[in-house]
Chains A and B, each alone.
Chain A
Amino acid sequence: MKQASRWFSRNLIRIYAFIGFAYLFLPIIYTFAFSFNASTKSNLVWVGFTWNNWLNPCGAPDVCNALGNSLKIGVLATFFATLLGTLMAFAMGRYAFRGRSIVNILIFLPMATPEIVMGASLLTMFISFGFNPGFWTIVIAHVMFCISFVVVTVKARIASLDPRLEQAAMDLYADERETFRRVTLPLVAPGIAAAALLAFSLSFDDFIITNFNSGDVNTFPKFVYISAQRGLPPQANVIGSSMFLIALIIVLAGQFVGRRRAGVR
């Protein structure tokens, strides 16, 4: 009995963690389970098991159109946000310059501003300049709020870089360009990759800002929101689950590759 209680108190936190993870994944598991539901109207009650939804993920009207838009926007926004953000991160992490604190505040503000404020004000500006909300306004908006997150992520990675590695490279006959190409960039790359993944997730998952600035264009989160009132088709569950699984596999694979590269056994 004493043994049991000692084991219990030592592993209390592990048990808690297990429960915590279960709680985190509950909606995911639910979503995944109901993607196999053979429902026709609303996906609320379990009717029966079927593969149909997975075999025909675009069955519900407009769902694949929405998904396609989200993916296109995601890729475009990620590309530009990562590019602009990485440039800024290098400037801030590597050089001394005047106006540092102002730039810091400028980067911090989008992260501290409620999405609704950013979305609404951006819409107002677009309209006042005569641009109707649509595909490109969404991309522009996404790039805007992703930059800050990219800067923070990449800057952290740059800060952890030992400056003596670059000095060693120059000592070994690599000029500035080669040092950057062969030493700095490879070592910062994991941070840039993480930032890109973060930016893509933020863009793909965004609803509020998108909602204000999309006009007629449908994105996946918008589709879910609108359908939730009427009844969410199981195809949405299929797409959501597959995005989850794909992303999970990519990240875990990236981890695995990263470990092998560093030579950790």
Chain B
Amino acid sequence: MVDASTSAHGDLTLKNLTKNFGDFVAVDDLDLVIPEGSFFALLGPSGCGKTTTLRMVAGLEEPTSGSIYIGKSDITYEKPYKRPVNTVFQNYALFPHLSIYENVAFGLRRRGVKDVDTQVKKALELVELTHLSGRKPSQLSGGQQQRIALARAIVNRPALLLLDEPLGALDLKLRRAMQIELKWIQTEVGITFVHVTHDQEEAMTMADTIAVMNEGKIEQMGSPADLYDNPRTAFVANFLGQSNLIKGSIVDHSGDSGIVNIFGTKLALPTPRNHAHDSSVLLGIRPEKIRIAPRGSSMSGNVLEGGVISDASYIGVSTQYQVEMPWGQELMVFEQNDDGTPPLAKGDAVTMSWEPIFTFGLAGDQDANAGSEANPDSE
């Protein structure tokens, strides 16, 4: 009889974790600490190594090198059935030959738990599916199967719950409802959740902390607001939401801001938000932070002249503009339709401005498009 469930608990620590598949490096020397009891998201495009990392924590994949700790226990090479970790699989992996009740009871029975019946009933109540306990998985809808998969994992009170893109197969409305429910369950139960997803909205909605992964490495880690407002790499800036990244160089300093030369215009970049390592910089500003007005209007803050609207799309909540700049780049501007002024049209000459505190700076030697193809929502 195996019982590993309540033996280890604490923070999840990954140290120098690496996984190679032949020549391909799926996970590259990963260092990560996930605090106990938090809702953590591993976010990234497909192939970035997030699922492989998850599987190594679950014990379904063996690391090439590095170690995994829960609290002080080293679980790097433990078999999956010896770890206090449970997984909610992407396709749910419910046992087709067992009833819903037996599916949820599976882990409890293997561990030799005494009061199986009470625990199973409690778990089913948590996901509000007690009435289905006699059915078989094939008789349930996708959303119901997903909740049973969750119940089956949670009933074992693991130190760590791993979720591998569990909401991927659900339609939009159901997905939104499940996101809220998962978040609620996590706070109720207090278990550490590690959620793997490629949907940045989902990660930002649910997680306390997000780690953005790309090509086996962590690009940046922090709270959703942190990552969104103050991205440190072009990949993160483009993968979460959308960004305008303009090439420039730092020419001066004034107080706690750097002065960046953008094709002749001088713009302020607060030094704490500058992540470039030399004077070559990608100046970043999110489209929704930019104000836009016909040329000649007087504007304050960081002001950019010389733009001409090349496209205007009315989206109801907002109007999205593409503005062609004199140096050939097209910038995006999202204006909320909240003041009744008529939208600008294609061909209009405009002036743009934004509050300097929203500016961020990235290392100038990066690919300004990194992360944008991977993000299906960006143009």
Please give the residue numbers on chain A whose beta carbons come within 8 Å of chain B beta carbons, in ascending order: 162, 164-165, 167-175, 178, 182-183, 186-187, 261-265
CA distance A165 to B94 in the complex (A): 7
CA distance A174 to B93 in the complex (A): 15
Residues of B within 8 A of A167 (CB): 60, 80, 87, 89, 93
- A169 close to B106 (CB less than 8 A): yes
> Which of A162, A175, A178, A262 sits near B93, CB closer than 8 Å?
A162
* Interface pairs (12), CB distance under 8 Å: A169-B95, A170-B59, A170-B80, A170-B81, A172-B81, A172-B106, A172-B152, A173-B3, A173-B5, A174-B81, A261-B97, A263-B138
When C-beta atoms are compared, the residue in chain B nearest to A175 turns out to be B81
Min CB distance A173 to B, Å, is 4
Q: Does B72 contact A (CB under 8 A)?
A: no
Q: Does B13 contact A (CB under 8 A)?
A: no
- B79 close to A170 (CB less than 8 A): yes
> Which of B85, B135, B138 sits near A171, CB closer than 8 Å?
B85
CA distance A186 to B80 in the complex (A): 21
- A165 close to B95 (CB less than 8 A): yes
Residues of A within 8 A of B79 (CB): 170, 175
Residues of B within 8 A of A186 (CB): 97
CA distance A45 to B107 in the complex (A): 68
Residues of A within 8 A of B80 (CB): 167, 170-171
In the complex, besides A167-B60, A178-B110, 9 extra interface pairs with C-beta distance below 8 angstroms are A165-B93, A167-B87, A171-B81, A173-B3, A173-B110, A173-B111, A186-B97, A263-B136, A265-B139
- A174 close to B96 (CB less than 8 A): no
Q: Does B359 contact A (CB under 8 A)?
A: no
- A173 close to B89 (CB less than 8 A): no
When C-beta atoms are compared, the residue in chain A nearest to B91 turns out to be A164
Task: Mark B124-160 against chain A: 1 for CB-CB distance below 8 A, else 0.
Answer: 0000000000011111000000000000110010000
CA distance A75 to B8 in the complex (A): 52
Task: Mark B190-205 against chain A: 1 for CB-CB distance below 8 A, else 0.
Answer: 0000000000000000
Q: Does B4 contact A (CB under 8 A)?
A: yes
Q: Does B317 contact A (CB under 8 A)?
A: no
Min CB distance B52 to A, Å, is 14
CA distance A12 to B85 in the complex (A): 59
CA distance A116 to B136 in the complex (A): 49
- A172 close to B86 (CB less than 8 A): yes
Q: Does B2 contact A (CB under 8 A)?
A: yes
When C-beta atoms are compared, the residue in chain A nearest to B149 turns out to be A168
CA distance A263 to B134 in the complex (A): 10
- B5 close to A171 (CB less than 8 A): no
> Which of B91, B97, B107 sits near A173, CB closer than 8 Å?
B107
Task: Mark B328-365 against chain A: 1 for CB-CB distance below 8 A, else 0.
Answer: 00000000000000000000000000000000000000
Which of B87, B93, B138, B139 is most buried by chain A, counting CB atoms within 10 A of its CB?
Answer: B93
Residues of A within 8 A of B152 (CB): 172
Q: Does B58 contact A (CB under 8 A)?
A: yes
Q: Contacts A173-B2, A173-B81 known; A168 to B89 CB distance under 8 Å?
A: yes
7 tightest A-B contacts by CB?
A: A263-B136, A172-B107, A168-B93, A173-B110, A170-B80, A164-B93, A173-B81
Chain B interface residue count, Cβ-Cβ cutoff 8 angstroms: 32
Which of B5, B85, B96 is most buried by chain A, counting CB atoms within 10 A of its CB?
Answer: B96
CA distance A169 to B135 in the complex (A): 19
Q: Contacts A170-B60, A174-B81, A263-B138 known; A164 to B86 CB distance under 8 Å?
A: no
- B95 close to A263 (CB less than 8 A): no
When C-beta atoms are compared, the residue in chain B nearest to A164 turns out to be B93
Min CB distance A190 to B, Å, is 10
When C-beta atoms are compared, the residue in chain B nearest to A189 turns out to be B97
- B4 close to A171 (CB less than 8 A): no
Min CB distance A156 to B, Å, is 17
When C-beta atoms are compared, the residue in chain B nearest to A190 turns out to be B97
Min CB distance A112 to B, Å, is 35
CA distance A262 to B94 in the complex (A): 13
CA distance A172 to B80 in the complex (A): 8
When C-beta atoms are compared, the residue in chain A nearest to B87 turns out to be A171
- B2 close to A175 (CB less than 8 A): yes
Residues of B within 8 A of A168 (CB): 87, 89, 93-95
CA distance A11 to B318 in the complex (A): 57
Which of A171, A263, A264, A265 is most buried by chain B, counting CB atoms within 10 A of its CB?
Answer: A171
Q: Contacts A178-B110, A262-B136, A263-B136 known; A172 to B156 CB distance under 8 Å?
A: yes
Residues of A within 8 A of B87 (CB): 167-168, 171
Residues of A within 8 A of B4 (CB): 173
CA distance A265 to B138 in the complex (A): 10
CA distance A171 to B137 in the complex (A): 19
Residues of A within 8 A of B2 (CB): 173-175
CA distance A138 to B20 in the complex (A): 53
Residues of B within 8 A of A162 (CB): 91, 93
- A262 close to B89 (CB less than 8 A): no
CA distance A182 to B109 in the complex (A): 11
CA distance A170 to B55 in the complex (A): 12
Residues of A within 8 A of B58 (CB): 171
When C-beta atoms are compared, the residue in chain A nearest to B4 turns out to be A173
Min CB distance B135 to A, Å, is 6
Residues of A within 8 A of B94 (CB): 168
Residues of B within 8 A of A173 (CB): 2-5, 81, 107, 110-111, 156
Residues of B within 8 A of A164 (CB): 89, 91, 93
Residues of A within 8 A of B136 (CB): 262-263
Min CB distance A259 to B, Å, is 11
Residues of B within 8 A of A172 (CB): 81, 86, 106-107, 110, 152-153, 156
Residues of B within 8 A of A171 (CB): 58-60, 80-81, 85-87, 153
Interface positions, chain B 6-64, Cβ under 8 Å from A, are: 58-60
Residues of B within 8 A of A175 (CB): 2, 79, 81
